[in-house]
């Protein structure tokens, strides 16, 4: 090959653009995949690249090729970018339970709120995808043309290049021949992914049989009541509340004036568990382990609601979530289900105070033994939608919290999210305190009453990293509040470490239920309580800080 050969210099351009395209593709693949997967995806991408170096004759074919190669390459780019976003934000793959479960369980309103919250991070990745799109378009347009060949030139490429192309094509053929390998191709993977969302939704669609089995299991456990007479128990499960943001837990902003006032009034009747932890960082698994006594699904665990019903309680499920999976797996086990958020015609449907009327109605019910489960939105993202418009006293704060965030190098938008999060917690305080007050005021004074409040999981809002949202990878994702009130004095539980997946043992105690499988060592109210640290995806230096 002579350097002065005009054919070679014309093809030089094609070689460079193809190499550039391959490099960009490989980088995008490596963004979203790891290890061997990168090589597998790269081989799946090969055939179109080989077409690019094939000298084509007609302009029509050239244009077709440009479009096809670009679309093909963009499939790999978008796949890599979406995966990189999920990895970066949630340390999760799209086919993992966290992403699949959340995506299958979301509705248009929630999706809109999610985008409103995450658009900044998404915009960065989208900008990268757009840059790749432009670059790849240019590369794809510069494929080899037969017109570049000089008349009489015998070959466009040296032998070694032809051999390399053949080897790559052969390897790609093998890649396509293998089904598990082929399935990684973005054009097959994502349609399959959508299919699994639909399958998952179908599984949730009718859980009647599973609920019937849960009720049978609860009856088979033959639960009995250790306390005669009427009983009113309220269980408040909230969403995305990090205890570090509650003044009740020592936070620098006055986010819980009403709960603090309740605490001052109630003394030892109200126990604020300082060291409370969830073992899951997202709603679906957190609710599952909380209500199923922390047992894995495979062990056919008891369900708290079924147990309460089998023991003679009338059970209410009053929820501000519009959530199919939770309604089907948990809510519908109750005697009365009230999905407040789904009621048409409510203007501020997402505010938690909307369900106070329903709770009051349940408490007024003449049934002697009642369990009222209240599922709040809490401070679930988007934070700005979790308090009434304009009700943010922290908007222009230059307080210690703001200074601390500045010193930790938190960005302006994370600090803004923190202000909105704290305003959501402040509004949440009115709702939670009101629910406690309603439990306190219900029935004749001597009626046994109990109330428990906890969050499904925590939330990262610039605590341990410069981001806001659900957070499986920082302790903030697991730091939850847990408060217990009974209209009787209690031993001091404040310092006891507590895990939310054991909460059902404690609630069963509040319900005064006894049954053969009861394990008092997991019940924080019992003297025989034995703390075991949960295994979390993130290192927690101490569960009692």
Give yes or no for a contact between 344 and 327, defined as CB atoms under 8 angstroms apart: no
The encoded tokens of residue 477 equal: 């994702």
In the complex with Zn ion, the residue whose CB is nearer, 321 or 522, is 321
Q: Is 456 in the site for Zn ion (CB under 5 A)?
A: yes
Q: At its nearest, how many Å lie between Zn ion and the CB of residue 111?
A: 16
**Cβ partners under 8 Å of residue 84, min gap 6:** 31, 32, 125
Instruction: Give which of 49, 59, 64, 22 is closest to 146, Cα–Cα.
Output: 59
In the complex with Zn ion, the residue whose CB is nearer, 241 or 438, is 241
Residue 368, classed as helix, strand or coil, is coil
In the complex with Zn ion, the residue whose CB is nearer, 420 or 456, is 456
Q: At its nearest, how many Å lie between Zn ion and the CB of residue 470?
A: 7
Region from 53-61, 406-414, 452-460, 502-510 binding Zn ion, contact rule CB under 5 A:
452-460
In the complex with Zn ion, the residue whose CB is nearer, 253 or 470, is 470
Q: At its nearest, how many Å lie between Zn ion and the CB of residue 373?
A: 15
CA distance 338 to 346: 14
> What is the pattern of x (binds Zn ion, CB under 5 A) and - over residues 225-264?
--------------x-------------------------
In the complex with Zn ion, the residue whose CB is nearer, 280 or 509, is 280
Contacts made by residues 538-543, CB under 8 angstroms, sequence distance 24+: 538/472, 538/473, 538/474, 538/475, 538/477, 538/478, 540/277, 540/475, 540/478, 543/275, 543/277, 543/497
Q: At its nearest, how many Å lie between Zn ion and the CB of residue 345?
A: 26
The encoded tokens of residue 172 equal: 């790609």
- Name the closest residue to Zn ion (Cβ): 283
In the complex with Zn ion, the residue whose CB is nearer, 239 or 402, is 239
The encoded tokens of residue 318 equal: 């009053």
Q: At its nearest, how many Å lie between Zn ion and the CB of residue 537?
A: 16
Q: At its nearest, how many Å lie between Zn ion and the CB of residue 290?
A: 11
In the complex with Zn ion, the residue whose CB is nearer, 185 or 330, is 330
**Cβ partners under 8 Å of residue 334, min gap 6:** 305, 309, 315, 316, 317, 373
Q: Is the peptide bond before 230 cis (omega within 30 degrees of 0)?
A: no
Region from 61-69, 297-305, 423-431, 448-456 binding Zn ion, contact rule CB under 5 A:
448-456
In the complex with Zn ion, the residue whose CB is nearer, 113 or 456, is 456
Show contacts with Zn ion in window 281-320 (CB under 5 A). 283
Q: Is 352 in the site for Zn ion (CB under 5 A)?
A: no
Q: What is the DSSP string of 135-181?
A: HHHHHHHT--BGGGSPTT---SS-HHHHHHHHHHHHHHHHHHHSHHH
Q: At its nearest, how many Å lie between Zn ion and the CB of residue 242?
A: 11
CA distance 428 to 511: 25
Region from 55-63, 310-318, 428-436, 450-458 binding Zn ion, contact rule CB under 5 A:
450-458
In the complex with Zn ion, the residue whose CB is nearer, 282 or 512, is 282
Q: At its nearest, how many Å lie between Zn ion and the CB of residue 317?
A: 16
Q: Is 280 in the site for Zn ion (CB under 5 A)?
A: no
CA distance 398 to 395: 9
The encoded tokens of residue 39 equal: 């090589």
Q: At its nearest, how many Å lie between Zn ion and the CB of residue 321?
A: 9
In the complex with Zn ion, the residue whose CB is nearer, 239 or 429, is 239
Region from 193-201, 203-211, 279-287, 482-490 binding Zn ion, contact rule CB under 5 A:
279-287
Residue 36, classed as helix, strand or coil, is helix
Distance from first CA to last CA of the chain, Å, rounded? 72
Q: At its nearest, how many Å lie between Zn ion and the CB of residue 545?
A: 23
With CB under 5 A, what is the number of residues at the site for Zn ion?
3
Q: Which positions touch Zn ion (CB under 5 A)?
A: 239, 283, 456
């Amino acid at each position: 090959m002579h350097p002065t050969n005009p054919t070679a210099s014309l093809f030089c351009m094609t070689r460079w653009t193809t190499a550039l395209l391959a490099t960009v593709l490989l980088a995008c693949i490596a963004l979203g995949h790891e290890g061997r997967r990168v090589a597998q995806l790269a081989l799946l991408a090969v055939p179109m690249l080989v077409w690019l170096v094939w000298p084509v004759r007609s302009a029509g074919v050239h244009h077709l090729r440009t479009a096809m190669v670009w679309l093909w390459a963009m499939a790999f780019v978008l796949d890599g970018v979406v995966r990189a976003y999920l990895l970066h934000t949630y340390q999760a793959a799209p086919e993992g339970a966290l992403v699949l479960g959340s995506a299958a369980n979301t509705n248009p309103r929630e999706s809109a709120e999610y985008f409103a919250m995450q658009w900044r991070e998404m915009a960065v990745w989208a900008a990268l995808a757009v840059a790749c799109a432009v670059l790849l378009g240019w590369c794809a347009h510069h494929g080899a043309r037969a017109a570049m060949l000089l008349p009489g030139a015998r070959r466009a490429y040296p032998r070694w290049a032809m051999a390399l192309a053949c080897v790559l094509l052969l390897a790609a053929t093998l890649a396509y021949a293998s089904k598990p390998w082929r399935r990684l191709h973005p054009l097959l993977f994502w349609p399959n992914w959508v299919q699994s969302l639909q399958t998952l939704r179908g599984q949730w669609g009718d859980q009647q049989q599973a609920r019937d089995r849960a009720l049978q299991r609860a009856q088979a456990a033959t639960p009995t009541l250790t306390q005669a007479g009427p009983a009113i128990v309220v269980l408040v499960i909230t969403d995305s509340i990090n205890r570090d943001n509650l003044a009740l837990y020592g936070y620098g902003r006055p986010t819980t004036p009403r709960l603090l006032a309740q605490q001052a009034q109630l003394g030892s009747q109200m126990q604020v568990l300082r060291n409370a932890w969830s073992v899951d960082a997202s709603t679906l698994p957190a609710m599952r382990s909380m209500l199923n006594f922390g047992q894995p699904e495979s062990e056919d665990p008891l369900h708290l609601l079924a147990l309460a019903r089998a023991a003679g309680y009338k059970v209410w499920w009053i929820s501000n979530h519009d959530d199919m999976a939770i309604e089907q797996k948990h809510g519908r086990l109750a005697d009365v289900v009230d999905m407040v958020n789904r009621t048409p015609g409510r203007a501020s449907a997402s505010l938690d105070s909307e369900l106070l009327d329903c709770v009051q109605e349940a408490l007024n019910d003449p049934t002697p033994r009642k369990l009222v489960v209240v599922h709040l939105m809490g401070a679930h993202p988007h934070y700005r939608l979790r308090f009434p418009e304009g009700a943010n006293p922290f908007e222009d704060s230059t307080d210690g919290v703001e200074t601390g965030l500045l010193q930790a190098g938190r960005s302006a938008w994370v600090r803004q999210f923190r202000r909105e999060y704290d305003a959501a917690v402040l509004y949440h305080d009115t709702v939670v305190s009101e629910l406690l007050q309603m439990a306190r005021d219900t029935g004749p004074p001597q009626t046994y009453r109990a109330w428990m409040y906890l969050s499904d999981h925590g939330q990262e809002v610039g605590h341990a990293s410069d981001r806001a949202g659900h957070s499986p990878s920082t302790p903030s994702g697991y730091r939850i509040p847990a408060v217990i009130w009974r209209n009787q004095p209690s031993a001091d539980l404040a310092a006891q470490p507590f895990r939310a997946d054991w909460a059902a043992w404690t609630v069963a105690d509040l319900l005064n239920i006894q049954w053969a499988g009861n394990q008092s060592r997991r019940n924080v109210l019992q003297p025989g309580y034995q703390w075991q640290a949960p295994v979390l995806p993130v290192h927690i230096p101490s569960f009692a800080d």
